[in-house]
């Protein structure tokens, strides 16, 4: 399975510390919020990458195993945890859960890798950066709930959707970081 990412790093055959050294270097040249895929064969890279990402403030998304290769996904820190949200209509995760049985559309504006590892069943995946160009995939009139990891990217997305004529938009706060309802993993 291929997941759309911003950067790819081949660290296959490299022993510790090289997978982390190279990841650190590659991530240094990326924009905040972008996702890197790291292919590695060193088993130790999994625990080390998780621990390193946590300390460095990056978001470890997940790891797939494909034919003996560990494929890791990490999203560069974006500082979104500290950002304020300004879109007026919001609901909590609990309130969204109640709504899911109704005829609503849930738009997940996180990166494809984040979506792939865990998303609300039925949610449409459109990364924030692509939203303006993919509006036609959504129904303007439908009751729309926008979700991301913390409520920050979905705040920006909610503004964008409203500016483009969507009339019934609500931002979900906090979103997937604390979602305890049902999820689907595309890798399984």
Partner 1 sequence: MTVTMWNASDVAERVVNQRPLFILDVRNEDAFADWKIESPSFEYKNVPYFDLLDGVEELVTELPKDKEILVVCAKEGSSEMVADMLSEEGVDAAVLEGGMKAWSEHLEPVKVGDLPGGALYQFVRLGKGCLSYMAISDGEAAVIDATRMSDVFVKFAEEKGAEIKYVFDTHLHADHISGGRTIAEETGAQYFLPPKDAEEVVFDYEPLKDEDTMQIGSVKLDIQAVYSPGHTIGSTSFIINDEYLLSGDILFIDSIGRPDLAGKAEDWVGDLRETLYSRYRGLSDNLMVLPAHFMDMKEVNEDGSVKRQLGKLLEENHGLNVKDENEFRRMVTENLPPQPNSHQEIRETNMGKITPDTERKREMEIGPNRCAVRG
Residues designated catalytic = 16
Query: Alpha carbon of 181 to those of 14, 82, 159: distances in Å?
Result: 39, 25, 26
Q: Which two tokens stand for residue 131?
A: 């939203």
Footprint of partner 1 on residues 19-78 (CB under 8 A)? Answer: 20-21, 24, 43-44, 47-48, 51-52, 55
Give yes or no for residue 117 binding partner 1 (CB under 8 A): no
Q: At what angle do helices 44-56 and 18-28 cross, to 10 degrees?
A: 40
- 17 — phi, psi (to 5°)? -95, 5
Give yes or no for residue 141 binding partner 1 (CB under 8 A): no
Cβ 20 to partner 1 shortest distance, Å: 5
Q: Which stretch binds partner 1 (CB under 8 A): 18-26, 93-101, 104-112, 168-176?
A: 18-26
**Pick from 35, 50, 45: which is nearest to 69 by CA?**
45
Cβ 15 to partner 1 shortest distance, Å: 5
Query: Alpha carbon of 185 to those of 31, 175, 178: distances in Å?
Result: 26, 16, 16
Give yes or no for residue 11 binding partner 1 (CB under 8 A): no
Give yes or no for residue 17 binding partner 1 (CB under 8 A): yes
Query: Alpha carbon of 9 to those of 114, 148, 172: distances in Å?
Result: 18, 25, 33
Question: For partner 1, which is the closer residue by CB, 27 or 96?
Answer: 27
Q: Which two tokens stand for residue 42?
A: 């060193």
Give the CA count within 13 Å in the CB-facing half-sphere of 11.
32
Give yes or no for residue 1 binding partner 1 (CB under 8 A): no
Binding residue for partner 1 (CB under 8 A) from 16, 89, 121, 122? 16
Cβ 24 to partner 1 shortest distance, Å: 6
Question: For partner 1, which is the closer residue by CB, 15 or 141?
Answer: 15
**Residues near partner 1, by CB under 8 A:** 15-18, 20-21, 24, 43-44, 47-48, 51-52, 55
């Amino acid at each position: 399975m291929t997941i759309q990412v911003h950067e790819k790093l081949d660290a296959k055959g490299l022993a510790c510390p090289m997978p982390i050294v190279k990841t650190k270097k590659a991530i240094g040249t990326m924009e905040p919020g972008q996702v890197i895929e790291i292919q590695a064969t060193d088993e130790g890279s999994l625990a080390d990458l998780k621990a390193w990402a946590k300390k460095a403030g990056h978001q470890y998304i997940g790891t797939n195993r494909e034919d003996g290769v560990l494929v890791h996904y990490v999203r560069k820190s974006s500082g979104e945890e500290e950002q304020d949200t300004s879109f007026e209509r919001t609901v909590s995760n609990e309130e969204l859960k109640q709504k899911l049985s109704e005829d609503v559309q849930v738009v997940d504006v996180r990166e494809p890798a984040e979506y792939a590892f865990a998303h609300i069943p039925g949610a449409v995946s459109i990364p924030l950066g692509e939203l303006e160009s993919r509006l036609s995939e959504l129904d303007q009139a439908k009751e729309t709930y926008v979700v991301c990891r913390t409520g920050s990217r979905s705040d920006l997305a909610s503004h964008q959707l409203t500016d483009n004529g969507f009339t019934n938009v609500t931002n979900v706060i906090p979103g997937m970081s604390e979602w305890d309802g049902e999820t689907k993993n595309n890798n399984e």
